[in-house]
């Protein structure tokens, strides 16, 4: 036995580093760890636009015709579907003819749509399609290369070409937006 103490004393005296073995610490009996999860579910695809009457402007009647340009108001697409990478959507618009109380109408072929600046949230590539007329369902904004949730907001300018000789009066109609 003497040799063991002698050897240990010699190692300590020589300054040789001793190996320290870490022992596992016992769990604290006063704490508990609970695993948790959350689930994020996909939402929908929706579009919003002004629902009250918008005055696009006025102009004196002319023999040669003219154009009235006015802002429609904020249009927004919300895409909370959590769409897989590469998917997309198309926002469209169509217009009725603009009709006065009596007399000829201003047809949808004379109503154009300019998107303007698109404010975006999320990852997607947005294209302003700017249809020259709204006679049929026309793409106005196309989103491609989507990853996850996203949104696009714009305030389009509506361009109404008023033919020469149009009767003075108030003309009204509807512009309808959709998204798919």
Query: Which has the higher per-residue pLDDT, 59 or 21?
Result: 59
pTM of the model: 0.77
Per-residue pLDDT for 50 more than 70?
Answer: yes
Q: Does residue 126 form part of some domain?
A: yes
Q: Does residue 15 form part of some domain?
A: no
Measured CA angle at 30 (ends 28, 33), to 5 deg: 75
Task: Cite the DSSP H helix spans in 110-163.
Answer: none
User: What are residue 44's phi and psi, to 5 degrees?
Assistant: -120, 180
H helix or E strand, kind and range, residue 47? strand 45-48
Q: Does residue 56 form part of some domain?
A: yes
pLDDT at position 25 is 53
Q: Count how many domains the chain has.
A: 1
Q: Does residue 70 form part of some domain?
A: yes
- Which domain CATH number covers 152? 2.60.40
Query: Once rounded to an integer, what is the mean pLDDT over residues 30-44?
Result: 82
Q: Does residue 27 form part of some domain?
A: no
d(CA 42, CA 148): 9
Q: Which residue has the tokens 């895409």?
A: 79
Q: Does residue 133 form part of some domain?
A: yes
Report the share of the chain in percent with pLDDT over 90.
63
Token pair belonging to 28? 């604290």
Query: Which has the higher per-residue pLDDT, 101 or 114?
Result: 114
Q: Does residue 29 form part of some domain?
A: no
Query: Once rounded to an integer, what is the mean pLDDT over residues 17-35?
Result: 65
Q: Does residue 147 form part of some domain?
A: yes
- pLDDT confidence bin for 27, thresholds 50/70/90: low
| Structural domain range at position 54 | 42-179
């Amino acid at each position: 036995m003497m040799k063991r103490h002698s050897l240990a004393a010699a190692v300590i005296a020589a300054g040789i580093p001793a190996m320290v073995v870490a022992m596992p610490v016992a769990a604290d009996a006063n704490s508990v760890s609970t695993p948790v999860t959350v689930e994020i579910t996909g939402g929908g695809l929706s579009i919003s636009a002004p629902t009250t009457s918008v005055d696009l402007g006025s102009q004196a009647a002319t023999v040669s015709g003219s154009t009235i340009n006015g802002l429609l108001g904020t249009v927004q697409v919300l895409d909370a579907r959590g769409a897989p990478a590469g998917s997309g959507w198309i926002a469209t618009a169509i217009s009725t003819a603009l009709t006065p109380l009596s007399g000829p109408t201003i047809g949808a072929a004379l109503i154009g749509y300019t998107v303007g600046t698109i404010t975006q949230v999320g990852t997607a590539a947005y294209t302003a399609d700017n249809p020259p007329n709204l006679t049929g369902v026309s793409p106005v904004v196309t989103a491609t290369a989507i990853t996850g949730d996203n949104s696009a907001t714009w305030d389009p300018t509506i361009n109404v070409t008023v033919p020469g000789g149009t009767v003075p009066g108030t003309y009204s109609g509807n512009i309808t937006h959709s998204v798919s």
